[in-house]
Amino acid sequence: MVYTLDPRTKRLGIMGGTFDPIHNGHLVAASEVAHRFALDQVLFVPTGQPWQKEDHKVSEAEHRYLMTVIATAADARFEVSRVDIERPGPTFTVDTLTDLRKQYGEDLEMFFITGADALSNILTWRDHEQVVEMAHLVGVTRPGHNLQNPGLPSEAITLIEIPALAISSTDVRARVARGEPIRYLVPDGVAFHIQKHNLYLDANPNPDPTIVGIL
């Protein structure tokens, strides 16, 4: 299905992430940024099938996309885009923003939201000057993290601490591998999807087969 943006949308949040899996911290962050910037909508954009990350194999894009759809279904401000998972090759934010601009038109103010950790490397990103021209950047981070502008003009970037980002995808995957509960860390539908498809069990090379139930 091709999602059509509400034509009245003028201020669009673009929440970029791997979402492996999406968790309640991501949802709180999107909601908080939507409130602070008076956004009309937030489009969650799961990254394409990447490169193997340093510490783990990333789940198939289709699983990450479906979990993102499940997690955002109940909030009228949230939608999910397949733009990054359908573009072959690694995901570059300049391509994400260019494709969304083409899809949704020029008359749109874009706010690219992602983890402040990821944004701290923005000066190494492909065509980062263009990224900064196309969207205001919003870096969200967990408590205790050192929030630092990665070297951009202060009007180009906003950094926000989100207490709920104490939850992390890494921790959720590790808990699943250990058979520990993830209820209240992720939406119930996401936990059911993880359980149904046996995701993240290989995050632990020696899972305890006697531990069952992550809900």
Which residue ranges make up the site for ligand NAP (CB under 6 A)? 15-18, 26, 29, 47, 91-93, 113-115, 117-118, 125-126, 140, 165, 168-170
Nearer to ligand NAP, 18 or 59 (CB): 18
Nearer to ligand NAP, 118 or 201 (CB): 118
How far apart are alpha carbons 90 and 68 in whole angstroms?
A: 19
Helices and strands, number each (H, E), in the chain: 8, 6
Give min distance, CB of 181 to ligand NAP, in A: 18
Give min distance, CB of 40 to ligand NAP, in A: 18
**Which residue, 102, 29, 89, 41, is CA-closest to 61?**
89
DSSP letter at 61? H
Nearer to ligand NAP, 92 or 192 (CB): 92
Q: Six-digit token pair at 29? A: 């962050």
Inter-residue contact 135 to 156 (CB < 8 Å): no
Q: Which position's Cβ is nearest ligand NAP? A: 115
Nearer to ligand NAP, 165 or 190 (CB): 165
